[in-house]
Amino acid sequence: MATSASASLSKAVKQQYMQLPQGDKVQAMYIWVDGTGEGLRCKTRTLDSEPKSIEDLPEWNFDGSSTYQAEGSNSDMYLIPSAMFRDPFRKDPNKLVLCEVLKYNRKPTETNLRVTCNKVMEMVKDQHPWFGMEQEYTILGTDGHPFGWPSNGFPGPQGPYYCGVGADKAYGRDIVEAHYKACLYAGVKICGTNAEVMPAQWEFQVGPCEGIEMGDHLWASRFILHRVCEDFGVIASFDPKPIPGNWNGAGCHTNFSTKEMREDGGLKAIEESIEKLGKRHRYHIRAYDPKGGLDNARRLTGHHETSNIDEFSAGVANRGASIRIPRSVGQDKKGYFEDRRPSANCDPYGVTEALIRTCLLNEEGDEPADY
């Protein structure tokens, strides 16, 4: 099993330094989405005291020509602190700081989808939109081979692995447990986890989160997962179809509701939203992965619990549909629905914004409205 060279460094030696007192100083790790729309970057600065809110955190900058976000001749980019979490790696009082990225002219970069998402969420905040996202991922060795798979073949076919227990069924549970605890410590609203259908594939769920908080907490949870995997010397992949053939892909099913949908008789509002989504399928497919639908085309085939990328469908308890209404929601006549189309490497800001635009702002057509 190929693991990174860093993983073989002595963690016991590192620990004696990590336990040294740091006085009144605080380490703040600034985190941002790079120019790919799916990669994360980070760097750390020292603060003189513990920040109590976002307002206490200074703006910062970085070299955008090295993150696919600018050319070298004009490469300074601004980091704008947007959400703050406890740091599970350096521990209190240190912080993780999720940032927006602005260009030299203070306009958002192409992959800073938080700005428009936040604007749209503000417009509908009286409807209290809640989200919950189910993040699937695959653990890979540094050679890109799925963790625990035989080096020159395949494990047994899918069937025993989903929610499985036992060394021959659960591949890499240590990473899942470490990530779960780290998210809880950080204050990320992680609400569950399970082994997935393909061996070495797992899922965790984040939510319920209201408005912009969904994107903030999902990106923070992804960063924490990458860092945990780095410590173990392996890779977390959000590729929507890491292994071609008869193996499940990886998605990021998104559960959505408003105050109206959660109250008695809310099923009517749910059905109205689904009807609107059906008329805007192409727009959503474009918004649901960082390559405008190309990544999802490998996953949304109509097989392996997915819908066909070219067709819109909805049904109660149907995991082969674009939109699933949970069985309990059909019975209670209120609750939420699940959009099963977003890919594992989607930008949660883009996904949640698209749902609000179509379902609550009643937008139509293939382009988002400009407010």
Q: Give pLDDT, residue 11.
A: 93
Q: Can you state the angle between helices 348-359 and 267-278, rounded to 10 degrees?
A: 110
Q: Give pLDDT, residue 136.
A: 98
User: Do 38 and 148 fall into the same domain?
Assistant: no
User: Do 320 and 226 fall into the same domain?
Assistant: yes
Domain count, the chain: 2
User: Do 43 and 186 fall into the same domain?
Assistant: no
Is residue 156 assigned to a domain?
A: yes
Residue 184 is inside which H or E element, if any?
helix 173-186
pLDDT digits over 296-352, tens only? Answer: 999 999 999 999 999 999 999 888 899 999 999 999 999 999 999 999 999 999 999
DSSP state of 343: B
pLDDT digits over 109-155, tens only? Answer: 999 999 999 999 999 999 999 999 999 999 999 999 999 999 988 99
Is residue 241 assigned to a domain?
A: yes
CATH number of the domain bearing residue 303:
3.30.590.10
Is residue 371 assigned to a domain?
A: no
User: Do 186 and 332 fall into the same domain?
Assistant: yes
Is residue 366 assigned to a domain?
A: no
**Contact (Cβ atoms closer than 8 angstroms) between residue 308 and residue 302:** yes
Is residue 273 assigned to a domain?
A: yes
Residue 47 is inside which H or E element, if any?
strand 40-47
On the 0-12 / 13-18 / 19+ scale of CB atoms within 10 A, 124 is middle
User: Do 180 and 40 fall into the same domain?
Assistant: no
Q: Give pLDDT, residue 71.
A: 86
CATH number of the domain bearing residue 34:
3.10.20.70
**Contact (Cβ atoms closer than 8 angstroms) between residue 32 and residue 78:** no
* Boundary residue ending a domain (111, 146, 173): 111
Is residue 238 assigned to a domain?
A: yes
* Boundary residue ending a domain (87, 111, 135): 111
User: Do 164 and 260 fall into the same domain?
Assistant: yes
Parent domain of 50: 5-111
User: Do 240 and 316 fall into the same domain?
Assistant: yes
- For the chain, the straight-line distance linking the first and the last C-alpha, in angstroms and rounded, comes to 51
User: Do 308 and 193 fall into the same domain?
Assistant: yes
User: Do 186 and 296 fall into the same domain?
Assistant: yes
Is residue 328 assigned to a domain?
A: yes
User: Do 133 and 69 fall into the same domain?
Assistant: no
Is residue 370 assigned to a domain?
A: no
Q: Give pLDDT, residue 18.
A: 96
The pLDDT confidence band at residue 1, using thresholds 50, 70 and 90, is: confident
User: Do 189 and 72 fall into the same domain?
Assistant: no
pLDDT digits over 283-312, tens only? Answer: 999 999 999 999 999 999 999 999 999 999
What are residue 41's DSSP bridge partners? 32
Q: Please count the residues of the chain.
A: 371
* Boundary residue ending a domain (84, 111, 138): 111
For residue 208, whether the previous peptide bond is cis, meaning omega lies within 30 degrees of 0, is yes
Instruction: Give CA–CA dist 314/133, Å, rounded.
Output: 18
The pLDDT confidence band at residue 46, using thresholds 50, 70 and 90, is: very high
The pLDDT confidence band at residue 73, using thresholds 50, 70 and 90, is: confident
- Against a cut of 0.95, is the pTM above it? yes
User: Do 325 and 188 fall into the same domain?
Assistant: yes
